[in-house]
Structure 1
Amino acid sequence: MKGRFISFEGTEGSGKTSVIKEVQKYFQNQGYTVLITREPGGIKISEKIRDIILDVDHIEMDARTEALLFAASRRQHLIEKVIPALKEGKIVLCDRFVDSSLVYQGIARNLGLEEVYSINKFAIESTLPDLTIFVDVRPEVGLKRVFNTPNREINRLDLEKLKFHQKIYQGYLDLITKYPKRIKKVNGEQPILDVADEAINLIKSII
Structure 2
Amino acid sequence: MSSSDAAKPRKEISPLFKMVLELGPLVVFFFANARGEWLAARFPVLTDLGGPIFIATGLFMAATAIALTVSWLLTRTLPMMPLISGVVVFIFGALTLYLQNDTFIKVKPTIVNALFGAILLGGLLFGKSLLGYVFHAAFKLDDAGWRKLTIRWGLFFLFLAVLNEVIWRNFSTDFWVAFKVWGTMPITILFTLSQMPLIMKHGTETSEDGAEKP
Q: TM-score, normalised by structure 2?
A: 0.31
More strand by share: 1
More helix by share: 2
Q: TM-score, normalised by structure 1?
A: 0.31
